[in-house]
Amino acid sequence: MANMVKKANAFEILNHWVMAVSFIILAATGFGFLFHLEQLNSIFGNFNAMKLWHNWSGVVFAVSLFFTIFHYLPVSLSLGSDDIAWISKAGGYFSKKAVVPPQDRLNTGQKLLYLIVLTVGTAIAVSGLIIWLRPAAADIRKWVLLSHLVHNIGFVLMVTIIPLHIYLATLANPGTFRIMVYGTVPLEWAKKRHAKWVQKMGF
Amino acid sequence: MTNHWIDVKNADVILVMGANPAENHPISMKWIMQAREQRGAKLIVVDPRFTRTASKADIYAPMRSGADIAFLGGMINYILKNRLYFREYVANYTNAAYLVNPDFKGPGQLDGIFSGYDEKTRKYDKKTWAFQLDEKGLPKKDMTLKDPNCVFQLLRKHYSRYTLDKVSAITGTPKEKLVEVYKTYGSTGKPNRVGTELYAMGWTQHTVGTQNIKAMTIIQLLLGNIGLAGGGINALRGESNVQGSTDHALLFHLLPGYLPASKASLVDLKTYIEKLTPKTKDPKSVNWWGNRGKYITSYLKAIYGGNATKDNDFGYAYLPKLNEGQNGSWLVLFDQMFKGKFEGFFAWGQNPACSGANAGKVRKALTTLKWMVNVNLFDNETGSFWKGPDMKPQEIQTEVFQLPCSSSVEKEGSLTNSGRLAQWRYKAVEPIGEARPDSEIMNELYFRVKKLYQKQGGKFPAPIINLTWNYGEKGADGKIKKLDIHRVAKEINGYYLEDVFDKKAAPPKQIGKKGHLATNFVTLQADGTTSCGNWIYSGSYTEKEDKVINMMARRGKKDIGGLGMYPEWAWCWPVNRRILYNRASVNPAGRPWDTKRAVIKWNPNKLDPKTKKPAPGWDGDVPDGPAPPMADEKGKYPFIMRADGMGAIFGPGLADGPFPEHYEPLECPVQENPLSKKHRINPTVKLFYGTTGPHDEPKKEGGSAEDIFYSCDIRFPYVATTYRVSEHWQTGVLTRHEPWQMEMMPQQFVEIGKELAAEKGIKNGDKITVSSGRGKVWAIAMVTDRFKPFKVMNATVHQVGLPWCFGWQYPENGSGGDSANLLTPTIGDANTLIPETKAFMVNIEKA
Amino acid sequence: MSRKALVISPELCIGCRGCQTACKSWNQLSAAKTTNKGTVENPPDLTPNLYNKIRYVEVPSESNPVRWLFVSQRCMHCDDAGCMKICPAPGALFKTKEGAVGFDKEKCIGCKLCVAGCPFNIPRYDEKDKITKCNLCSDRIAEGLEPACAKTCPTGAISYGDRNSLIGKAQGAGYQKLYGEADLGGLGVLYAFKDAPKVYGMEENPAIPESVIFWHKVLKPLAYWGLGGAVVASLVHYVAFGPKKDEEVK
């Protein structure tokens, strides 16, 4: 039996899935609103109900996004020359022979992904709240229009990036998915893909 | 109106002065705008305030409230000086050519009064106002209009004093604006151009109200605008059926059809008829009032039926009689009530606590009553007067009965509008709760009073007990179970009580069959063989070929010459004649002055529709009598309701002068009348508070404190006026209960000019107090450019205005405010006593 | 069915506000408790119970103390309606066959985006956040009747009819171009202005907000392209490069 090391704790895993599920609901209902997809009525009943699902999923998403700060922000902000090198090699995804520098608990791609998800996610959440709660202000129409723009730009970015994230976290990098199921990975696997982290952790 | 609403679209120039139709008669704006859009008509608005009507005007002339005669006098002067008058019309159709008593003198010679004035009685001896008569007893005439004693020259002399400078100094209207108005309106003196004038309370509610209108009548006669389509002198009545109410004599001095009310000195019917029937010696004058006897007799037969016979003078003794000089008009009535002379009072479909001038005095007057009956859709400031502000309920002994009545859609009947058009209305819904139509309330009241009289006797039961009151099926007790309004309408129309013959024809021709509805007033008789409740409505509910027709219910859309007369739509009095005095719309040969807008036209080749034999007659509107044109030997003069058949430029019948003369309102901003050193105010008005001194100032202890007035007094330095608003109806009794209307117009406001607001430190929207000698009200200040200060006699005069549609009783928290009439004075017109609520003095302060 | 429209002529409007009351009467809208703030204009703004309001506009005048214009404010029933464009709920805002923009409170989800998307700031929402506005009396016009406001107007300042004939009639009355003839695909409520629109308090060139246009033209298609592109790119990558197996990582 291989040696297993813990890469993600239970809270991180639960939080990730809460975020993922809420994101799926948000994206699907978002598409529903954008393109008047009445087929979704077979799932939600009507658009009034769908709005409730969208808005409250948004709350759930925002809360789970908040908790991710504790899980991913510190490591994502520690960017250095190794991350630049990773980027210049495109993470090694466009060559069978590419070699990337040793990676931290999150690799550069994962760090970038997180930073994008955090900013865009926050922007979507805030703009969504403005549209939903419509605070009293003299020029609220202007703010609603700006929020509408931000919310939709964010949406486009998210529905482009998340499928890539799913691919990279599953098919493209075998052995990754189990992190979000069991929370553990084989030590050898970790030594190859997250050498810096292994070293720091002293496994 | 001499004309009618739709006719306004036929005018080339429309003068709106003393009215604000865009707000108060919005439907009329349809025709005004049509005239502008379709025939390029010019709209002139003269008003102290830039109103919603002014916003649509081609010319707006600002004018201080109470200066109308100065303004119009200036116009008369301008028309005469610039020869804009229609000479042929003036010479042939008016009394311009008549010679007046050479002893006649005017205000120019007598410093503000006409000859014959008695200072003690405040009345005129009109001897010097009489016309010179020839050997036939007819007025002497000078058809060249040059004789210095002829009306035309007296007119010229009188109004030569109304120079542009003088008029501008009195009215506050810039000279250029005066000329612009005069020139534009004066252009209708041409035969093919016509002008109409629309007025309302802005003209009538002054101490010189009647003369305001008279001044315009003179202008219309000078320009040849009376009797023509698009012309006339047109009152915009203040309520949808007030025309009906005056027609049916709700005023103290009338009987239905404008017959004079009787007085004690007219001891019998013969005397009444003799003394009150105008006579003429001129065979060419129709003098239609010469038929007075037929109408009073038919009226008595209508109301007293079988109880009115030749033997009892047709029940003439039953008619109420006024004492000599007795006046029962509004101001006098409430003054009497204030002095405790009334036990009871029916406030029937009105709200005197808000609508009466000097409303505070009215409210105090109500406290003296033993009982009051308030008949209305809603409770109001009158019915609940004892709960009002400044009232001490524990000291008030009045018992108030509130009787809910139906609205106009909850009952059937006719409404007569300003254009004399009586239109039948239907019942749309049942009244709610215990509300009943007024007619049923009256019916109930009548039978109970009758029963009391029958049981207990009394001072004079006969006039009540003997009324026919045949308005429905009577029960065993003699009471009508359900009042049929159609029977009332038929009684008003009249019946032939016997077979009636035209005795002038040979052989006598039958003109009426016993028991049938009368055809029209031409067939009414003075011998008791006909009945008619109101002669001017005879023909409104009649029979044609034995079929009963409610003419007022007709809705035919055929027109005459595109003039909007619609002779088959409903029915107007008299005899469905749409334009009065239309014989003046043609020349003496019977050809229309204006062929494009021909009202009537003499057709010598006309054929009788039945016999197909030649029967020369008139085409078009119902002519003012079938007689041939004036020039024909059998022809008649056009003004058939006047004894001499002529339009009166010189009008000796009015109390305050044969020519309108400018006098200042009781409360005004100048110390003396710019036209007279001796007479500031109308010298014949009834004073409720004594005046003294050279400037008619209030006397010390001149009367009740409630009637005090202040003129040219620094305590009340601003001219004020009152008006209605589109969004509310009269005192607001109905509309204050209508949330959609209250949403638009929730509170009492006062419009003040920006200059005055700056002086007083008042901002738009501030709550301020408006006060006068009589009382005060709070109002929201609307600071606006629409009131601009006037330059009057070299002084700056500010004017403000407020509506009278609010009252303390509703909304219940008083948030709407109270009526502007708490400010208005106790004074009225010299002829009608209509209160002068359109010009008085106030002060304004931040609340 | 040819497109129907209203023409509003401030030059004929006398500010009587019969139209305000008639609209409330037909639509059975309730009234608000208001106060007089120094103007006859009341209520101060459109509300969920006030679809049509007269604005009292005072502008300087050379010959008079003021020039007083009465301008009706209400839904413009645009052909290219900003409210419909931004609305996420199908059927909440819809075009009737006469060309009016109607609303359905049941289908409305209460997001209130239309309030921001309307170039004229017209839609209002009620206490349940549901959108409400003039619907051109769609029930009346469906039966061949005219809207309540047009029927009530005494001077014809509001006139209803076939859009093309109304434009023709106005041109005949001397109005070369009506406000709204071409804007936003052609407005369903046209104004006969004698002067520049800004004199009457109206936008010179009304347009749907730029951000909404951008969103509609660019962002919406990008959403599909982005999602689809990402999926396709992943597939292509997997085929071309395959997974990064452990053996390959150094």
pLDDT computed for residue A1 by the predictor: 60
Q: What are the b/e assignments for B593-629, b being 16+ CB within 10 Å?
A: bbeebbbbbbeeeeeeeeeeeeeebbebbbbbbebbb
Domain formed by A4-201, architecture:
Up-down Bundle (1.20)
Q: Phi/psi class of residue B83: alpha, beta or left (left: φ > 0; alpha: ψ in -120 to 50)?
A: left
Question: What's the pLDDT tens digit per position in B344-393?
Answer: 999 999 999 999 999 999 999 999 999 999 999 999 999 999 999 989 99
Q: What is the mean pLDDT of residues B718-726?
A: 97
**The amino acid at B536:** I
3-state secondary structure of B666: coil
Read off the pLDDT band of B546 (50, 70, 90): confident
pLDDT computed for residue C250 by the predictor: 61
CA distance B73 to B96: 16
Question: What's the pLDDT tens digit per position in C172-211?
Answer: 999 989 999 999 999 999 999 999 999 999 999 999 999 9
CA distance B417 to B423: 8
Q: Closest Cα of chain B to C31: distance in Å?
A: 5
* Structure-block tokens of residue A146: 């700006």
Strands (E), B200-314: 233-235, 254-255, 259-260
Under 8 Å between Cβ of B316 and B258: no
CA distance B16 to B175: 19
CB of B40 within 8 Å of any CB in chain C?
A: no
Strands (E), B323-449: 344-348, 371-376, 399-404, 413-416, 421-425
Interface size between A and C, measured as CB pairs under 8 A:
121
CB atoms within 10 A of CB B148: 12
Q: What is the mean pLDDT of residues B589-615?
A: 94
Q: Which residue has the higher pLDDT, A136 or B220?
A: B220
DSSP characters over B235-247: E--SSTTHHHHHH
Chains within contact range of chain B (3+ C-beta pairs < 8 Å)? C
Under 8 Å between Cβ of B661 and B110: no
Through-space distance between the first and last CA atoms of chain B, rounded to whole angstroms: 43
* Structure-block tokens of residue B783: 């600071």
Q: Which residue of C has its CA nearest to B725?
A: C16
CB atoms within 10 A of CB B104: 21
* C91 has pLDDT over 90: yes
Long-range CB contact pairs, B760-764, < 8 A, 24+: B760/B844, B760/B845, B760/B846, B761/B846, B762/B844, B762/B846, B763/C38, B764/C38, B764/C39
| Dihedral sign for Cα atoms in the order B211, B216, B220, B223 | positive
pLDDT computed for residue A95 by the predictor: 84
Q: What is the mean pLDDT of residues B799-805?
A: 98
pLDDT computed for residue B504 by the predictor: 86
* Structure-block tokens of residue B153: 């020259």
Rg of chain A on CA atoms, in Å: 19
Question: What's the pLDDT tens digit per position in B252-310?
Answer: 999 999 999 999 999 999 999 999 999 999 999 999 999 999 999 999 999 999 999 99
pLDDT computed for residue A97 by the predictor: 78
Q: Closest Cα of chain C to B199: distance in Å?
A: 18
Q: Which residue of A has its CA nearest to C92?
A: A47
Answer yes or no: do B782 and C156 touch at CB < 8 A. Answer: no
List CB contacts of C169: < 8 A, sequence separation 6 or more: C7
pTM: 0.94
3-state secondary structure of C126: coil
DSSP characters over B735-754: GGG-HHHHHHS-S-EEEEEH
Q: What is the mean pLDDT of residues B759-770?
A: 97
CA distance A32 to C88: 8
Answer yes or no: do C17 and B22 touch at CB < 8 A. Answer: no
Under 8 Å between Cβ of B57 and B16: yes
Q: Closest Cα of chain C to A112: distance in Å?
A: 17
Chain C CB contacts of B58 under 8 Å are none
**The amino acid at B647:** G
* C167 has pLDDT over 80: yes
Under 8 Å between Cβ of C115 and A144: yes
Question: What's the pLDDT tens digit per position in B449-496?
Answer: 999 999 999 999 999 999 999 999 999 988 999 999 999 999 999 999
Answer yes or no: do C244 and A36 touch at CB < 8 A. Answer: no
CA distance B107 to B113: 4
* Structure-block tokens of residue B519: 């055809």
3-state secondary structure of C184: helix
Q: What is the mean pLDDT of residues B573-593?
A: 97
Question: What's the pLDDT tens digit per position in B391-405?
Answer: 999 999 999 999 999
pLDDT computed for residue A98 by the predictor: 77
Strands (E), C137-232: 158-162, 189-191
Chain A CB contacts of C219 under 8 Å are 152-153, 155-156
Which among B740, B713, B708, B675 is positioned nearest to B77, based on CA atoms? B675
* Structure-block tokens of residue C87: 């609305």
CA distance B200 to B243: 13
Question: What's the pLDDT tens digit per position in A126-179?
Answer: 999 999 999 999 899 999 999 999 999 999 999 999 999 999 999 999 999 999
* B53 has pLDDT over 80: yes
* B648 has pLDDT over 70: yes
Chain C CB contacts of A47 under 8 Å are 88-90, 92, 107, 109
Under 8 Å between Cβ of B52 and C14: yes
CA distance A54 to A28: 9
CA distance A164 to B598: 89
Say which of A38, A141, A167 has its CB closest to residue C234. A167
Q: Where are the alpha helices (DSSP H) in A45-201?
A: 47-77, 81-88, 108-133, 140-169, 187-193, 195-201
Read off the pLDDT band of C230 (50, 70, 90): very high
Under 8 Å between Cβ of B686 and B828: yes
* A123 has pLDDT over 90: yes
pLDDT computed for residue B574 by the predictor: 97
CA distance A45 to B154: 91
Structural domains of chain C in order of their starting residue, each with its CATH number: 4-76+137-200 (3.30.70.20), 210-248 (no CATH)
Say which of B26, B740, B743 has its CB closest to residue C16. B26
Cα B529 to Cα B292, B485, B541: the distances in Å are 15, 24, 19
Cα B771 to Cα B212, B361, C106: the distances in Å are 27, 15, 54
pLDDT computed for residue B478 by the predictor: 87
pLDDT computed for residue B222 by the predictor: 98
Q: What is the mean pLDDT of residues B819-823?
A: 98
Read off the pLDDT band of C248 (50, 70, 90): low
* C246 has pLDDT over 80: no
CB of B740 within 8 Å of any CB in chain C?
A: yes
Chain A CB contacts of C115 under 8 Å are 141, 144
Q: What are the b/e assignments for B38-72, b being 16+ CB within 10 Å?
A: eeebbbbbbbbbbbbbbbbbbbbbbbbbbbbbbbb
Q: Phi/psi class of residue B732: alpha, beta or left (left: φ > 0; alpha: ψ in -120 to 50)?
A: left
The share of chain B scoring above pLDDT 90, in percent, equals: 97
Which among B587, B588, B591 is positioned nearest to B620, based on CA atoms? B591
* B543 has pLDDT over 80: yes
CA distance C166 to C6: 8
Which among B753, B718, B732, B690 is positioned nearest to B821, based on CA atoms? B732
